[in-house]
Amino acid sequence: MVSTDNLTTYLLEVIQCHLAVTSALLLIILAVIRWFIRDSHKVDGFNQKHVFITGCDSGFGNLLARQLDGKGLRVVAACLTERGAADLAALASPRLKTLLLDVTDSASIGGAVEFVSKEVGERGLWGLVNNAGRSVPVGPTEWMKLEDFTKVLDVNLIGVIEVTLQFLPLLKKAQGRVVNVASILGRLSLTGGGYCLSKWGVEAFSDSLRRDMHHFGIKVSIIEPGFFKTGVTRLDLIEADLRRLWTRLPQEVKDSYGKTYFDDYVKAQGFSMGILCSADLSKVTRCMEHALTARFPRTRYGAGWDAKFFWIPLSYLPSFVSDFVTNLFLPSPKDQRNV
């Protein structure tokens, strides 16, 4: 028979266990409620806040410019081409201003700062969105030359750094926001070339900038999109540049990959993009908008279901796991040697 003392002790342990579980659940629920309430608080005075966005010819930048313009913010949209600027202006209100900008040209950036400075006056610049970017050249590392890396790094990383540095005085006036577009490829490198390198660099630059600018009231957020249908993922551009890289390779290098490797690689790119790419760009621009308008913006925004539930979790797993998974997306060279 079980003694009364033992039964009492057992019942007390059961009650304590239930209380601990209940308390933990209540804390979790309260934390979730607090997070959503905190997440929903917005800043005020949209019509007095200026936002400068790079890369607005198409894609995320174009949609964000129109989205913020519709909310009443004062948008200055930077485009690379006159046609891009004209097409955007035709779709927006008279409040939205456009200008031409090459983020690899210091003089062009300086001209943009001068233009924006006149627009914002003493209020300063509320938001800077570093969105401009390019993907090609991209492909196997051995196919690259140094200039192939720098073509991408100059836009995606050095351009982001220089634009930010030149606009910081205006951002400090407004105690504003910097929103930098990185990528899930800034967490998990899938291909060679400058794209992944540049996005890892954007992550590091944004982290250091956030810590430094915290003292001046400037908040810095990083957007980490998964795969979306934009100019960066255009298969015709990627395939054309891959063919350029392949064509110039020495014959012995081509032989090491095999006769069918190029075609297999292009097919793999098309298959992956077809499965992964989302056409709903608003999944990204909603994150950008939140980073600019929320009273308590997040440090990082994973944008897209593939980013949140596949790529970002995969980036935290051991390297041998992520290597195995990423290798599934690409063909193997003919002359492979497993060590």
Q: Considering the domain boundaries, does residue 177 fall inside one?
A: yes
Helix (H) or strand (E) segment spanning residue 14: helix 4-40
Q: Considering the domain boundaries, does residue 176 fall inside one?
A: yes
Is residue 238 within 8 Å of 269, Cβ to Cβ?
A: yes
| DSSP code, position 188 | S
Tokens linked to 295 = 């009273």
pTM: 0.87
CATH number for the domain spanning 311: value is 3.40.50.720
- Report the phi/psi class of residue 98: left, alpha or beta, with left for phi > 0 and alpha for psi in -120 to 50: beta
Q: Considering the domain boundaries, does residue 184 fall inside one?
A: yes
> How confident is the model at residue 34, as a pLDDT?
60
265 is catalytic: no
Helix (H) or strand (E) segment spanning residue 320: helix 319-327
Q: Of the listed 195, 261, 265, 301, which one is catalytic?
A: 195
Q: Considering the domain boundaries, does residue 51 fall inside one?
A: yes
How many structural domains does the chain have?
A: 1
Domain interval for residue 146: 44-229+279-327
Q: Collapse the DSSP code of 130 into the 3-class scheme (helix H, G, I; strand E, B; otherwise coil) and give the result.
A: strand
- Encode pLDDT of 178-235 as tens digits: 999 999 999 999 899 999 999 999 999 999 999 999 999 999 999 999 999 998 888 8
Closest CA to 326 of 272, 262, 246: 272
> How confident is the model at residue 22, as a pLDDT?
79
Instruction: Give CA–CA dist 201/165, Å, rounded.
Output: 15
- Encode pLDDT of 138-172 as tens digits: 999 999 999 999 999 999 999 999 999 999 999 99
Rounded-to-10 torsion of CA 6, 8, 13, 15: 160
Confidence of residue 5 (pLDDT cuts 50, 70, 90): low
Rounded-to-10 torsion of CA 88, 90, 92, 97: 70
Q: Considering the domain boundaries, does residue 234 fall inside one?
A: no
Arithmetic mean of pLDDT, 59-85: 97
Confidence of residue 176 (pLDDT cuts 50, 70, 90): very high
pLDDT at 339 over 60: no
